[in-house]
Chains A and B, each alone.
Chain A
Amino acid sequence: MINQSQTLQNKTLRALLPGDALTGGGTEGGKKAALAEIDASCRVPVLFFFLSGLAWLLAGTILALVASIKLHTPGFLAGWEWLTFANVRTAHLNTVIYGFASQISVGVTIWLMCRLCRIPLVAPGLITVANLFYNLGVTVGVGGILIGDSTAIEWLEMPRYATPILFISYALIAVWTIVTFRLRAERHLYVSQWYLLAAVLWFPWLYGTAQVMLLIEPVRGVVQAAVNWWFAHNVLGLWFTPIGLASIYYFIPKVIGRPIHSYYLSVLGFWSLALFYNWNGMHHLVGGPLPAWMITVSIVASVMMLIPVITVAINHHFTMVGHFGKLKYSPTLRFMVFGAVSYTLASLQGVASAVRSISEVTHFTHHTIAHAHLGMYAFFTMVMFGAMYYILPRITHREWPSNGLISLHFWGVALGIVLYVVPMSIMGFIQGTMLNDAAVRFLDVVQFTLPWLKLRTLAGLLLAAGHLAFVINVGWLLVRMFEPYRKPVVRILTGEAETVAAAKLP
């Protein structure tokens, strides 16, 4: 039955693709490698990025919990200067953004690039060196923050003796990606590759420019704020978002076995994102001491973001229509769909908060913090978890050891992040309304936030439990790598086992 339908699908595929696209070895490009061969070639570098990323995730989770507790119980660990709220909060941001999220992004980028270019991993040395530089950079940077060398420039707090190390790493990653792209065996490009290529080229540029203009040769006055938010907002918009969307565009079709709803829309979505997102940054400065034209331009660009957001939403959600039953079976799909829905919500919330009348209330409040976590966690991190659930068994060629831990992970983080974002968004809005009423004493506003901040600590504990479950499962998976390969009972690696055996891999 399955074989028949596969043959049928292959016929359709052959009818649609040019003659050589499927068989490989055409006139254009080299021979296309088998998926299992590509996966196996990615094993060591991708594991490096994933494992070091997860180590930083644990560190970042602990820092987050400490910071959260400190905000409602200021006496907690107050004796140590290197553990002040500001230090811990900043160290949390930098470990999860640069240590965790970026490293997982790179791991996913490597694997996706190899798979879509249909070649085994090239230059493993280059990418491994990039990883070493990366972890060195983050360690030095976070250490610098904790000893009080933070630059106090949001998202660029790492002192200037750490950032060049990271820059080298990003440059190496960009070079590696371009080399892989040039050597690709599949000449045709899938939308995920556009997003990945754009991200790896945009980010070193952003990071390099921001470093020079803020740390090495700082510009004068409020131009610093302009550079700061041009950079910080683009880290989200031009680094994390493209990689997150590239993953969704690949994994949802792959898991449910159905092409993306509309390829036209994905083209429109990519170019409108590229055009508008990078003009958004100044909406972090509404009401601030910058020329009105800059802020207005950013508000307009923020509203224009409705175009890419709606096209992407239509594409992702319409692809899923009729396949929601599969959420029950596939952890990748669960995390991906959770992330895709959150992307839509986070973007709409972002557009709304950029509007002057709403920003008047929500700016300077916990609403912004909730929004940041909706984007970075509920969207991006969930998508990365989903990607890891798909990639890790394939590169290690082992099944996930425990379904129970997968469920614990999903429900822990899903409930945790909902319990974080929803109350904090509401609280921030009320907080902003109170702040804008000069008749309300400032300390009364502070007192109002306390119960909500305690609720956030609770949400953080749920997230931490989920992270722990995931890390245990990954650790267990790694232990299994040292055991002889057994044919799994539940076969998620269906169709690959034979090919891998042929490639003489364990």
Chain B
Amino acid sequence: MSYGPLLFLGILFTLASSWVGLVLLPHRQMGALGQHTDTNTAAIYPAARSGEAQQGAEHYRSLGCVYCHTQQVRPEGYGSDIERGWGRRRTVSRDYIHDKTVMLGTMRTGPDLTNIGERQSDAAWHYRHLYNPQITSPGSIMPPHAFLFDTRAIGPAGRSTNALVLEGPLAPPAGHEVVPTRRAEQLVAYLRSLKSSGDLPEAPVKKEEAQ
């Protein structure tokens, strides 16, 4: 049997169908989504990120955080995402319009980070956690990111204000301190900017939780 023409047409036609269906149509439907302005409070959501946090998002991408941490909250009653406090509501398309690379993730070796900015708002916690996760989360299998920090001699002006509080075997040698690099500062700025608190018509935050 020589299926030549039918074969070629079929090969092109089948893939074209899903390309239209799963790529072009969604692009038309969601590609131009904008911010939502609340008619009562005039609050705009999602707000644009600061430049510092934008830089941090690039480090988040480059360090491959997405391979262990998701950034998507499944709806109430589907998984335990909301009960675990990973978000106040399910995430929807509009939540991601400012992301240069959308990093939804597919694996939860670590917890979801959609709402990490609300769950851990303390920058010092993030620095210590990044430096060595065992400090804040004993038993974690997250690798230490000590390369995002500098160990340096304490200058004549005394200890830096942003130096990490480290004890025991992790403490730096006497007369030295551990300080975050620019990259660590930007990454933590990004992590702290991750909040899913905005009320959207398509995904309202439950009222008693919003208080």
Please determine if A and B sit in direct contact within the complex, based on CB atoms under 8 angstroms apart.
Answer: yes
Type the 1/0 row for B27-49, where 1 means its CB is closer than 8 Å to any CB of A.
10111110000000000000000
Q: Collect the chain A residues with CB atoms within 8 Å of residue B161's CB.
A: none
Interface residues as binary, B1-27 with A (CB distance below 8 Å gives 1, 0 otherwise): 111100110111011011101110011
Instruction: Look across to chain A and name the residue whose beta carbon is closest to the beta carbon of B64.
Output: A86
Residues of B within 8 A of A275 (CB): 14, 17
Contact check, B100 vs A189: say whether CB atoms are below 8 A apart: no
Contact (Cβ within 8 A) B84 A71: no
Q: Which residues of A contact B105 (CB under 8 A)?
A: 364
The 9 closest A-B pairs by CB, nearest first: A86-B64, A438-B83, A287-B74, A278-B18, A364-B108, A438-B80, A274-B14, A152-B61, A224-B102
B209 CB to nearest A CB, Å: 14
Contact call B144/A78, Cβ cutoff below 8 A? yes
Given contacts A74-B133, A443-B140, A446-B139, 15 further A-B contacts (CB under 8 A): A79-B147, A189-B2, A202-B15, A218-B100, A221-B97, A221-B102, A222-B93, A223-B30, A230-B23, A279-B18, A289-B92, A363-B106, A368-B106, A437-B80, A438-B80
Main secondary structure, interface of B, reads loop
Contact with B along A147-185 (1 / 0, CB 8 A): 011111110000000000000000000000000000000
Inter-chain contact A279/B19, CB cutoff 8 Å:
no
Measured between beta carbons, the chain B residues less than 8 angstroms from A74 are: 133, 140-144
Known contacts A151-B61, A152-B101, A281-B22; A201 and B95 CB within 8 A of each other: no
CB closest chain-B residue, reference A368? B106
Contact B3 A194 (CB under 8 A): yes
Answer whether A230 and B93 are a contact pair too, CB < 8 Å, given A86-B64, A152-B66.
no
**Closest CB in chain A relative to B8 CB, distance in Å:** 8
Of B26, B66, B97, B138, which one neighbours A291 at CB under 8 angstroms? B26
Contacts A86-B65, A189-B2, A446-B139; is A221 near B10 (CB within 8 Å)?
A: no
Interface size for chain B: under 10, 10 to 19, 20 to 34, or 35 or more residues?
35 or more
Q: Find chain B residues with CB under 8 A from A326 CB.
A: none
**A230→B23 CA distance, assembly (Å):** 8
The residue that B27 contacts in the complex, of A86, A223, A289, A356, with Cβ under 8 A, is A223
Is B66 a contact partner of A222 (Cβ separation < 8 A)? no
Give Cα distance in the complex from A189 to B31, angstroms. Answer: 43
Complex interface residues of chain A between 281 and 311 (CB less than 8 A to chain B): 281-282, 284-285, 287-291, 294, 297-298
